[in-house]
Homo-oligomer: A and B are copies of this chain.
Amino acid sequence: MNTKDVILKLADQLILEKGFNAFSFYDLAETIGIKTASIHYHFPTKTDLAIAVIHLHAAGFEQVKKQYATKDPLAKLEAFFNIYSRNKAEGQVCFVGSLCTDLYSIDPAIEAELTPVVKGILIWVTEILKEGKRKGVFHFSAAPRTKALLIITNMLGILQVSRITGKPDFNEVRNTILKELKTKKG
């Protein structure tokens, strides 16, 4: 892995663990064992670094989306949840939650990059739910887009809240969402 990717991976980790405003180029440089000027060579500004991290996540979601495109809706939704489970295992929140809480304190250029990614995730989950309902494997009464918002905010929120209440709550929430979706109601 080249230095640029090492910087990117570490920046991502720090954004999800501590938040965008809680780490500096010096933190990155010290951990990697290079100088801050070298980071500026790869990412001229901290904004550039944040945008690269967003693109990294966008690509990650895109890859899972493609990889599961022909699978059944349940497998798709589980693949979606697995992204969050991986974050939980590392003590991280999700990049959407981390950046949205800091949104009004960061460069608008970051928001401009984040917006289409968040909307894309919402569309993806909405489509999974629609497909699941059509095929009779998911049952819910709300509008698919609203149900997607409910599920996404559950995952985003529990990553944060379970830092306080404990990791088992993350799994409890994940399992309950799936159970309720699969349960046929009157």
Interface positions of A (Cβ within 8 A of B)? 17-19, 21-23, 91, 93, 96-98, 100-105, 111, 114-115, 118-119, 122, 141-142, 146, 149-150, 152-158, 160-161, 163-165, 169, 172-173, 176-177, 179-180, 183-186
Contact = CB atoms under 8 A, between A and B. Distances in A.
A87 to B, nearest CB: 12
A contact patch SS? helix
Give the one of A150, A152, A173 with max B CB within 10 A. A150
A98 B101 contact: yes
Given A142-B180, A173-B149, A100 B18 contact: no
Give the one of A18, A21, A141, A153 with max B CB within 10 A. A153
Contact of A21 (B19, B96, B122, B142): B19
Contacts of A23: 105
* Copies of this chain per assembly: 2
Would you list the 9 A-B pairs with minimal beta carbon distance, nearest first? A186-B186, A153-B157, A22-B105, A18-B105, A157-B157, A21-B21, A100-B160, A185-B185, A156-B157
A128 B177 CA distance: 20
B149 A172 contact: yes
A122 to B, nearest CB: 7
A148 to B, nearest CB: 10
A102 B183 CA distance: 36
Nearest to A103: B163
B157 A152 contact: yes
Contacts of A179: 142
Nearest to A19: B102
